Structure 1
Amino acid sequence: MMLGINVKKTNDIVIIKWQLSKVEIPTSEIINVSLDDTYGGGKKEAIRIGTPYATTDRVVIKTKTKTYILYTTNATSIINKLLS
C-alpha cells in the first residue's frame, strides 16, 4: 500500500502517483516549481493532489496550461526530484 504522493522523473516526463490517480507532466511544459504557504493553495482552478492537513507542505507545479498543488510532508524531496 502506497502512502503519500510518489513523484518520479523519467526522461522527459514527471509521473505523480497518489492513491489510484496517476498524472504525467512533460518536463517541457513545466514553467515553475515552488512552495505555497497558503492553506488552500492559491489558485482555485488548480488540480490538487494529496490530502490537505495543516501540517503538510504545498508544492506548486505551474505548467503552460495547468497548475498542480501537491499536499505532502516530503516537499524538499519532491522539489529536488522535479528540479534535477
Structure 2
Amino acid sequence: IKNVQQELKNNIGLVRQEIGHVKQELKNDIGLVKQELKEFKDNVKAQYQRLEAQIRQSHAYMRNNALRNPTLPIRPVV
C-alpha cells in the first residue's frame, strides 16, 4: 500500500509540474499574442492615417482644380 501511495504521490507531482509548464507556456503565448495584436493595431492606425492624408490631399486637389476651371459662375460670399 505504501508503494502505491508513493507512486500516486509521484504521479500527482508530475501532473502538477506539467500543469505548471502548460500555465507558463500559455502565459508566454498570451504575451506574444498581445504583442502581435498591439503591432497590428499600430500598423492599422498608421495605414488609416496615411489614407486620411491621401483623401485630404485628393479633396484639396479637387477643390483647387474646381477653382481654376469653374463650371459654374463663382458668386462672391456676402
The question of a shared fold, defined as TM-score above 0.5 by the shorter chain, is answered with no
Normalising by structure 1, report the TM-score: 0.15
Bigger fraction of residues in strand: 1
Structure ranking higher on relative contact order (CA contacts 8 Å, 6+ apart): 1
Q: Which has the higher helix share?
A: 2
Relative to the length of structure 2, the TM-score reads: 0.16
